[in-house]
Structure 1
């Protein structure tokens, strides 16, 4: 028998981070909220599989946090329920594999300040020719490393991924400048495909191809860099001003904290919503839920199935491969990128060195990400590529899991509206990373924008973010979405 209809002020469909973020804002304002999730647990794409003591992320998008420990990311700091979130940081910058060698890049000297980077440029341009570069602690010399170099890092030569010391100092200065550039100035630039915009920035081609392309591919999950250059600039700004990191314990920790901090019985899992209106949702298991407003916080495709006419973007597929070994590579907690694009792996890391709790004692967990369609013989191709990247044999590595997500990250081609409307009608709203920027922070920000619009329409207490303009009619059917427009305000990168 169906349970009696549940009464709520707002029903949120979907318990991903966007819907949970909105639910927190609503419940704190005294709005009775029910979150309905079809899956057995909350989290959406931010899920973590447990295998023999390992914690394996299905997608594992990278987060960024400011270099100053006291300055948490605004959406992480302001979202209720995330006060206990612990972030594990990668080593500063990234480790690049190119031309058969490993290079450490992207960590400007002088604390990341523009003056520090410019001073480094002056020092490098006045130094003797062919100096050896400082290596990354813990990086062993691979078989391809030339003898006579310090810490296994080769001297710069023609064709090296980052060029000589002057090119690297220019890169550090450029990163320092973009970290100090106001967001509104970045968003005032012409919106082009990221690859096209990079080619016009005046940096040497070897710097663009050897560092910026692989870095942005990792941050945006877009190997061809078709993403909006404005979104790419926001990603570079976040990287240049902080550290790459992951949630301690796995990606699912973030939605678990959000769900656990809501009032009891707010989140109901295993409930499939079959239809929505401005005053109710119908579920397969429990009949009708009556309410005053409905917020769709599902993925873009699921939202369009419930509301035909909503735009469904393209998607970037992501495949994550997890290996374990008792003899970890010596790259430490660095994120390793392939500057040569010589195989299927876009980036990889000994993730247990970043977050030791993801692997049992005595075992190393290596997590590698393949962007785009995976090759036919995925495991063989990935092992061969990892052997070149890490400079060690991978034949004895054990494959723990392979997670392929065809619609992992919504595409953001230009022109991309960073503030797609979250209010369709008074009483019907939508949020998610497909309404903002395709990042975890973007999903959180979208949920807070949607909750602000709901509170404004319900006449509840004010909210953090300015609500979208109120619609003229509540009873008209949801309209087809207009073409994307230039963003009115910056969203969190």
Structure 2
């Protein structure tokens, strides 16, 4: 085959695209990556505003993910982790700390007292939680092959009710899954639980974008930024048309965009997406707090954290940075006075003087993982066009990395 620009063109320099490009280069293929944005990362980006590092959405990197262990130099990222646990704030504004005693042994007695005050220790609910959680620590293959249902329905089945569900698990997971009703695949949520049990997620001290920047450096391939792809055409020499009119040809094309982009470029049915809004505040100086805070009685804020305490590199010296995350649906972002009212209760003080640095409305934050959805979906959408992304595996960094590696392996087989 002649007159090609590279063996493989990868559309998108997100996590899946970068992983795919790196794997293909190591197999000896020439690779070109085209990216619409001006930097790598896809949905993982960090804005620096007035010296504050504000990720586009509250995102965490879990070092227990198998693909992260294999393909990411976590130590070089200077990963900073939050407290292993949460502060649950009740309706009166009292914060109750529930922490892992293996990491925070001094908080053991306080954790037991908090759990008792909140009613988390009801025997029936504890047994139900154990019935639900135990499969998460077993073999992954057995978990992946287990029957599936909506998370809320499975909690009903095992008898997981009361405050343990409503004040702890449901509000915590709503921020992780961008799901406020519990209709995510229970099988997938147990995989998420497994990752939390194995390690505490964190953030690079210089912002989440340090992660894709490392992948981009290590990939060792040509990446054309600010190059928006308008069309992908299949064939013996598939073509990629850029917005500036340029047409690139290759032996194969991997479309490594989010679900919406994959649908637009390949007319392939993909997962719907859920949205999140993240508010970044310059807060009044306060006592350092490394724990995530959630509301035990509802409210628009699904979680909030003092990021400058968890990762000092997120804020200028002497400044305090707080993030607050809310669900984002067709009704639009929550109103600022409503958000501040919840934050007043969660932090136990007025937030009226807190300056909004930036608010990120990420309408396509996470693919929906509906009950019954395969944990590994087909990548081939044409003779020589494939997909990669967390919408083809699990909606996570692990899923994005795995799908990129899968796409590279399939391209290598296809091209011989």
What is the TM-score with the length of structure 1 in the denominator? Answer: 0.76
- Any conservation in 2 of the 1:82–1:258 contact (CA below 8 Å)? no
Alignment of 1:286-325 (within 5 A): 287-308=246-267, 310-325=268-283
- Any conservation in 2 of the 1:24–1:80 contact (CA below 8 Å)? no
Residues 1:273 and 2:266 are matched in the alignment: no
For structure 2, list consecutive stretches of 5 or more residues without a partner in the other structure.
none
Q: Distance in 1 between matches of 2:6 and 2:270?
A: 29
- Any conservation in 1 of the 2:144–2:375 contact (CA below 8 Å)? no
Bigger share in helix:
2
- Any conservation in 1 of the 2:10–2:253 contact (CA below 8 Å)? yes
Residues 1:135 and 2:81 are matched in the alignment: no
Alignment of 1:143-222 (within 5 A): 156-157=116-117, 160-163=118-121, 177-178=134-135, 180-222=137-179
- Any conservation in 1 of the 2:283–2:321 contact (CA below 8 Å)? yes
Moved more, 240-249 or 217-226: 240-249
Q: Of the candidates 66, 74, 80, which is equivalent to residue 66 of structure 2? A: 74
Aligned to 1:127: none
Change (3 A) 1:155 1:290: closer
Q: Tell me the alpha carbon deviations over residues 158-208 of structure 1, each in whole angstroms, 9 at most, x when there is no partner.
A: xx25246x6897689669735532212222332111111112223342212
Change (3 A) 1:436 1:365: same
Alignment root-mean-square deviation, CA = 2.7
Change (3 A) 1:316 1:56: same
Q: Distance in 2 between matches of 1:200 and 1:175?
A: 9
Q: CA deviation at 1:408?
A: 1.4
- Any conservation in 1 of the 2:84–2:103 contact (CA below 8 Å)? no
Residues 1:257 and 2:214 are matched in the alignment: yes
Q: CA deviation at 1:83?
A: 6.7
- Any conservation in 2 of the 1:77–1:83 contact (CA below 8 Å)? no
- Any conservation in 1 of the 2:12–2:256 contact (CA below 8 Å)? yes
Q: Distance in 1 between matches of 2:385 and 2:61?
A: 30
Change (3 A) 1:385 1:161: farther
Q: Tell me the alpha carbon deviations over residues 195-243 of structure 1, each in whole angstroms, 9 at most, x when there is no partner.
A: 1111222334221212211122122121111111111111111112221
- Any conservation in 1 of the 2:255–2:387 contact (CA below 8 Å)? yes
Q: Distance in 2 between matches of 1:455 and 1:155?
A: 53
Change (3 A) 1:403 1:111: closer
Q: Distance in 1 between matches of 2:225 and 2:290?
A: 36
Q: CA deviation at 1:156?
A: 3.0
Q: CA deviation at 1:248?
A: 2.7
For structure 1, list consecutive stretches of 5 or more residues without a partner in the other structure.
67-72, 113-131, 137-149, 460-493
- Any conservation in 2 of the 1:8–1:290 contact (CA below 8 Å)? yes
Corresponding residue SS for 1:434: coil
- Any conservation in 1 of the 2:119–2:164 contact (CA below 8 Å)? yes
- Any conservation in 2 of the 1:62–1:219 contact (CA below 8 Å)? no
Change (3 A) 1:304 1:291: same
Change (3 A) 1:111 1:48: closer
Q: Of the candidates 302, 308, 323, which is equivalent to residue 367 of structure 1? A: 323
Residues 1:327 and 2:327 are matched in the alignment: no
Change (3 A) 1:175 1:367: farther
Q: Distance in 2 between matches of 1:188 and 1:195?
A: 19
Change (3 A) 1:335 1:54: same
Aligned to 1:59: 57
Q: Distance in 2 between matches of 1:368 and 1:267?
A: 33
Q: CA deviation at 1:338?
A: 1.4
Q: Of the candidates 10, 25, 40, which is equivalent to residue 12 of structure 1? A: 10
Aligned to 2:366: 409
Change (3 A) 1:234 1:94: same
**Higher Cα radius of gyration:** 1
Q: CA deviation at 1:61?
A: 2.4
Corresponding residue SS for 1:425: coil
Aligned to 1:421: 378
Q: Distance in 1 between matches of 2:79 and 2:242?
A: 36
Change (3 A) 1:179 1:155: closer
Structure number with the bigger relative contact order (C-alpha 8 A, sep ≥ 6) is: 2
Q: Of the candidates 24, 35, 50, which is equivalent to residue 33 of structure 2? A: 35
What is the TM-score with the length of structure 2 in the denominator? Answer: 0.90
Q: Distance in 1 between matches of 2:74 and 2:4?
A: 28
How many residues are paired up? 408
Moved more, 195-204 or 411-420: 195-204
Q: Distance in 2 between matches of 1:239 and 1:403?
A: 25
